[in-house]
Structure 1
């Protein structure tokens, strides 16, 4: 059940079937010269909607902004503060909790460490506040890299590379502009830098030339299956 498409009566009826909601978090962030700024959001929202076709659950509207430090200087990236992201996640969950939902999956398509930590902090705070609330925080990339390891050819592929380009070639081919080039960032170890694009000019981490729509379809299916197992555990079916 796609939340923003429901009427209030349909939402109330849906509560009789499930108390689980998936909340996709993404970003507006550069993904090389070949993928759209919405890549992270699209991937997270896509798999949530796919799972909603298989079982009763709610999918909340996606959050299109995230904490994007490494790409902050690249054209098009819009980054928010960790405190903003944490507060937004808490407010969304509390509002949905008041509406009757009890099982929450925060699925982030943006896998930045600081971004993910802010969502985990929000989840921990919510666990302390509500005794009957269950919550999971997952990165879409973690599921894709783990479940698709037999498919992925590129070592240490993570951003606008083989995985994400394959996913977009499968689900949104009209948004892929060219192939992109293999690249890895060269940030100096332990040193914080102001001009991050200097050390990562193309904004790609991996090899998009190895991408294919066929790989993308297989990886997406594996991610949806893995997400379903997480929901089972959260709801107590796997515990």
Structure 2
């Protein structure tokens, strides 16, 4: 259930039965020439709602800002620092714990490595500052059951997966398509002009996308995320 739509008495009533929450997290960044800038948070929110329909939990309002490193030079990208992200996540976690929620899943629709590391660091801090059961997970880690239907094994950003999801969930926001592309960043060397190594902002092949694939992807992700929430709840009951 969407926590921001509950009244105060409604939250108190639901809290008697619901002990877990999902925080959808994304970033404001380019998603090729054809997908909306806020897709990562939009995806995480839609997925959290689908999982909550399977395993009841609170769905917190999404966080639309995170760490954008590889896309920093592209139009529309607005990132925040790692310090800011870790601080916000910790404060939200503290608030969740103070409201009687026992489990928190930090669900990111953005797969950037630096961004995900910040989530893990914030989660680890919450383990020591609260009694929460905490999980951090990226949407790409929940795709195991959907892999057989995917045609692009290296897909990661604005490609087959995300374009399919957008075609299924927000078809009116998909502005055409884009060509297959992959970034060409040096293996170890950091670069200032990141757009020169990733001009189109696509990592994969959007031409392989379809609305039906998007439906199947979301179903597979939701099933896996619901299982993770159930695992958190079981750990909380065991006092692990």
Q: Kindly indicate whether the alpha-carbon contact (under 8 Å) linking 2:19 and 2:233 is maintained by their aligned counterparts in 1.
A: no
Aligned residue for 1:150, secondary structure, equals: helix
- Which of 217, 220, 232 matches 1:219? 217
RMSD across aligned positions (CA)? 1.3
Structure 1 residue 55, shift from structure 2 partner: 3.5
Runs of 5+ in structure 1 lacking a partner?
none
Deviates more, 1:5-14 or 1:146-155: 146-155
The reply to whether residue 17 of structure 1 matches residue 3 of structure 2 is no
1:182 corresponds in structure 2 to 180
- Which of 225, 228, 231 matches 2:229? 231
1:139 corresponds in structure 2 to 138
Aligned residue for 1:21, secondary structure, equals: strand
2:149 corresponds in structure 1 to 151
Distance 1:29 1:17 in 2: 37
1:42-83 Cα deviation digits (max 9, x unpaired): 110001111223342100000000101000000000011011
1:162 corresponds in structure 2 to 160
Aligned residue for 2:149, secondary structure, equals: coil
1:141-172 Cα deviation digits (max 9, x unpaired): 2213x332111101210000000000110011
Distance 1:230 1:223 in 2: 11
Structure 1 residue 19, shift from structure 2 partner: 1.1
1:6 corresponds in structure 2 to 6
Q: Kindly indicate whether the alpha-carbon contact (under 8 Å) linking 2:55 and 2:230 is maintained by their aligned counterparts in 1.
A: no
The list of structure 1 runs, each at least 4 consecutive aligned residues, that deviate by more than 4 angstroms after superposition, is none
1:96-128 Cα deviation digits (max 9, x unpaired): 111111100000001100000001001111112
Structure 1 residue 189, shift from structure 2 partner: 1.6
1:203 corresponds in structure 2 to 201
The total of aligned residue pairs comes to 237
Distance 2:38 2:115 in 1: 16
Matches within 5 A, 1:67-146: 67-130=67-130, 132-144=131-143, 146=144
2:52 corresponds in structure 1 to 52
Q: Kindly indicate whether the alpha-carbon contact (under 8 Å) linking 2:93 and 2:104 is maintained by their aligned counterparts in 1.
A: yes
Q: TM-score, normalised by structure 2?
A: 0.96
Structure 1 residue 16, shift from structure 2 partner: 0.6
Distance 1:27 1:43 in 2: 11
Matches within 5 A, 1:37-48: 37-48=37-48
Runs of 5+ in structure 2 lacking a partner?
none
Matches within 5 A, 1:22-41: 22-41=22-41
Distance 1:222 1:55 in 2: 14
Aligned residue for 1:191, secondary structure, equals: coil
